[in-house]
């Protein structure tokens, strides 16, 4: 996998958008002309601190390079192709594989991707060396399991995350997981710590499935794609590793906090409005 940043393309694009010469950009970054020239001619790989200088300067100049490139990639897709994003805490070593993640993720081991750059960046903005991979996924000929925010999805996530252990037997767990286990890839709502807390309340018998479903829908995190098989992994092509500079990370961190506050109010309202409606987990199982 190519883990180099597209500093050559990004540097040229930014200069032209801001009408800067190489010399002018070098001066603004506090670097030598030869350094910027080597970047654009792919003669050297910038050090991490210089990457931060360039991308932070571009971001503070209100040029959102990652958003621009997301739009370009999306416009170039064919009908059976999807543009997806994977937020990574560090470099991905080797090719995309579904068997290197934890077993207790939403759908067990798999390679997890979101539908937008923002989704992916929000989840890794707190990590120092994080980045975002842009990925083209072609799903023709693959088997798919689709989920929405409903009881089936809640029980499936709870099962893979080990929350049903001791409540149901192995055969019933296998039935709950069968749909996900038989697919090459999965499309399902994204879950985060807020969702897990809500699902835990449902599993612990504190709220009904109806309360849980509406509370989960209130978090509005979007959808995720999960590659489950080697066959699906071969249909995923990394387009680019995108740099996350500090000011961009800070903005995503602030946005995540704001989203959390808004969704907390919606979740409380949903639990009140749908109190007593639906079934508790013991009735369902």
Domain range list for the chain: 1-63, 80-284
Is the pLDDT assigned to residue 270 strictly greater than 90? Answer: no
Q: What is the pLDDT of residue 219?
A: 66
Q: How far apart are CA 26 and CA 204, in angstroms?
A: 59
Identify the pLDDT of residue 220.
66
Number of CB atoms found within 10 A of residue 199's CB: 22
Is the model more confident about 26 or about 273?
A: 26
**Which one is predicted more confidently, 50 or 220?**
50
Binned at pLDDT 50, 70 and 90, residue 213 comes out as: confident
Which of 185, 22, 198, 23 lies closest to 109 in space, CA to CA? 185
pLDDT (mean) for 210-234: 86
Mean pLDDT of 240-260: 88
Q: Is the pLDDT of residue 285 over 80?
A: no
- Distance (Å, rounded) from C-alpha 159 to C-alpha 184? 19
| Predicted model pTM | 0.88
Q: How far is CA 53 from CA 25, 27, 62, 94, 228, in A?
A: 11, 12, 14, 28, 38
Out of 3.30.1490.270, 3.30.70.260, 1.10.260.40, 3.30.70.1290, the CATH code matching 1-63 is: 1.10.260.40
Mean local confidence (pLDDT), 90-114? 89
How far is 169 from 172, CA to CA, in rounded Å? 5
Q: How far is CA 31 from the centre of its chain?
A: 34
The residue-averaged pLDDT of 142-165 equals 91
């Amino acid at each position: 996998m190519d883990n180099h940043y597209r500093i050559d393309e990004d540097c040229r694009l930014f200069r032209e958008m801001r009408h800067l010469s190489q010399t002018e950009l070098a001066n603004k970054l506090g670097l030598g002309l030869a350094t910027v020239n080597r970047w654009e001619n792919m003669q050297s790989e910038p050090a991490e601190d210089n990457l931060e200088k360039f991308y932070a300067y571009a971001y503070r100049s209100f040029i959102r390079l990652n958003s621009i490139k997301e739009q370009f990639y999306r416009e170039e897709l064919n009908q059976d192709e999807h543009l997806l994003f994977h937020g990574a805490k560090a470099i991905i070593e080797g090719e995309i594989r579904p068997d290197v993640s934890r077993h207790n993720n939403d759908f067990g081991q798999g390679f997890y991707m979101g539908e937008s750059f923002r989704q992916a960046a929000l989840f890794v903005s707190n990590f120092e060396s994080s980045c975002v991979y842009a990925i083209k996924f072609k799903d023709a000929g693959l088997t798919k399991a689709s989920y929405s925010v409903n009881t089936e999805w809640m029980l499936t996530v709870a099962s893979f995350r080990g929350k049903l252990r001791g409540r149901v037997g192995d055969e019933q767990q296998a039935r709950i997981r069968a749909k996900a286990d038989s697919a090459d890839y999965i499309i399902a709502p994204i879950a985060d710590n807020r969702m897990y807390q809500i699902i835990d309340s449902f599993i612990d018998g504190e709220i009904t499935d109806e309360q849980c479903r509406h509370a989960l829908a209130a978090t509005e995190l979007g959808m995720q794609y999960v590659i489950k098989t080697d066959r699906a992994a071969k249909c995923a092509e990394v387009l680019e590793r995108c740099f996350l500079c500090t000011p961009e990370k800070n903005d995503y961190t602030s946005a995540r906090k704001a989203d959390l506050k808004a969704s907390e109010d919606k979740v409380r309202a949903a639990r009140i409005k749908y109190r007593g409606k639906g079934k508790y987990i013991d009735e369902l199982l």
